[in-house]
A = this chain, B = another copy of it.
Amino acid sequence: MSKTSTTDFTVRVQAEDFDVLAETEILTKGRKDVGAIVTFTGLCRDEGGALEALELEHYPGMAEAQISKFAQQAVERWPLTGLTIIHRFGKIPPGDNIVLVIATSPHRRAAFEAADFLMDFLKTKAPFWKKEHLREASEGTWVEAKAADDADAARWDAPKTK
């Protein structure tokens, strides 16, 4: 194929929950060139019962722009047939969805790597901040960024050419 344009992708930042099955079907319906679907769903854990809710603050506009930038990098780097990224904001109780990445491709490694890459960048470069509200505390606490997440993101750095 002499296709020069890269695959389209969908990015949404929203308060509402998402439907993994419906989002997956949008990427696969009627096509027969998809060999691999990788979905990553991130959920709010209750931290052994201590957590009442997570509050997710974001930078409207920049959040969408940053995620789209990484999505563009992903479709240029891997042979994907589809890519959807949804990130929620607002107050999210334990057990609820926070983030969804779906990558589809003819090949399994491309789908795995693209989804893994996007999650590492969402963790460290997309303007979202989590505040934990615990059952036993009146004040919420901002979650601190983890060095391990930066190290995960650094795995994807291309070797420098100059």
Contacts and interface: CB of A to CB of B under 8 A. Distances in A.
Interface of A: 20-21, 24, 28, 31-46, 48-49, 94-95, 106, 108-109, 111-112, 115-116, 119, 123, 152
Contacts of A106: 45
Contact of A36 (B21, B37, B41, B49): B41
Nearest to A122: B108
Contact of A40 (B42, B49, B95, B108): B108
Contacts of A42: 35-36, 108
Residue from A21, A28, A43, A95 whose CB has the most chain B CB atoms within 10 Å: A43
What does DSSP make chain A's interface, helix, strand, loop or mixed?
mixed
A96 B88 CA distance: 31
Given A40-B38, A109-B152, A152-B109, A45 B33 contact: yes
A123 B107 CA distance: 12
A32 B20 contact: no
B39 A37 contact: yes
A56 to B, nearest CB: 14
